[in-house]
Homo-oligomer: A and B are copies of this chain.
């Protein structure tokens, strides 16, 4: 069991119930067996909570103290849309048209990937995410068993996709048994670190007949669904030509939104699309870097939020970003939110931070994370402000969203365990991961 921790005299930023952010100076945060058991301004109460729990458990009331002076504590980020193993394709396919990018560079390389490649690439992606304060992700790729193994060893939260279809002599068909088995093994694994989803890649990739069967499969296994949705103008155009409706309507008609659903992108929408998403409770994962880099367009987050849609933030894969850095996405989401509405108040710092934290955790299935409050899981990051980017701190909320480089993340705790501690990753052997991923990269370099 991990020793209790007391974080002392720190500035806390926490999402609140009104989808805003509370800024609390000189706070104390107590962690006991994976949970936050106190967050408030009294050191004696913070200690008393640890003592009370220790007595209940019949263990010595000992704890490690972490001085928060000159530091800011906030929830870890929940990345709403990633493809972790694509770190292997980082900086190999840039400044290209989407078709070139996908068909001539990405897919031929992906076809060569082996389980071991996926495993080490997942570790590398988690190393980058954790280094930059991300504690969870909603990930969509294949050979997910390897990514699950990496997450459980690392102590990283994932809502992880299974590709619940198989190909045989009748063509593509749903594979309910495979999904049920995947869920049985991984759902809730690692003391609740893992959630499971069915991947329904997009409206353009599958034969029409497959969608209803996939929905039935997800219903049967009672899992989340992850989709790409309305990412490009071409996708919307082709969907209207084929189905006479928008991709959102088509997915709704297939019943996809009966499941808890994480929809990535949602760039090209109309008011009716936004109404459907809001009514269905779909969480939209906004990926500003990827959308801009691939010249897909910009998602109007303000319009989505005004329509009552919950929006979180994602990085997308490393081949279209090329980072897994939620600090960059927060800043960019705020900037393009301001630009797109010609209004510097459209997406404020607190909106961006809420999206990157609480909205993300809620949307991807970890509603017990994303707030700094007694009773929540102990998933948080500590930022050291002792660097020229943040100094002088000014408003801590502005400092986190607009000025903080991910390198200022000093420590990261997930489920009560420090996975980054004072600058060092504690659960990933980065030298080993570097060597293995270099080999993988060479092996797929066509």
Contact = CB atoms under 8 A, between A and B. Distances in A.
Interface stretch (A219-227, A250-258, A399-407): A399-407
A441 interface: yes
Q: What is the size category of the interface that chain A forms with chain B?
A: 35 or more
A104 interface: no
Interface string A318-341: 100111010010011011101101
Interface string A265-303: 000000000000000000000000101111101100000
A174 interface: no
A306 B332 CA distance: 27
Nearest to A387: B131
A325, A339, A387 — which one has the most chain B CB atoms within 10 A of its CB? A339
Interface in A121-173: 124, 127-128, 131-132
A91, A289, A318, A349 — which one has the most chain B CB atoms within 10 A of its CB? A91
Interface string A413-446: 0000000000000000010001001100100000
Interface of A: 87-92, 94-98, 101, 124, 127-128, 131-132, 289, 291-295, 297-298, 318, 321-323, 325, 328, 331-332, 334-336, 338-339, 341-346, 348-349, 386-389, 391-396, 398-399, 402-403, 405-407, 430, 434, 437-438, 441
Closest 7 CB pairs of A and B: A91-B394, A407-B407, A128-B388, A91-B398, A292-B335, A322-B402, A95-B348
22 contacts: A91-B402, A94-B348, A94-B395, A94-B398, A101-B344, A292-B336, A293-B334, A293-B338, A293-B344, A294-B338, A295-B338, A297-B339, A318-B403, A322-B398, A323-B402, A325-B405, A332-B332, A388-B430, A389-B406, A391-B434, A392-B437, A392-B438
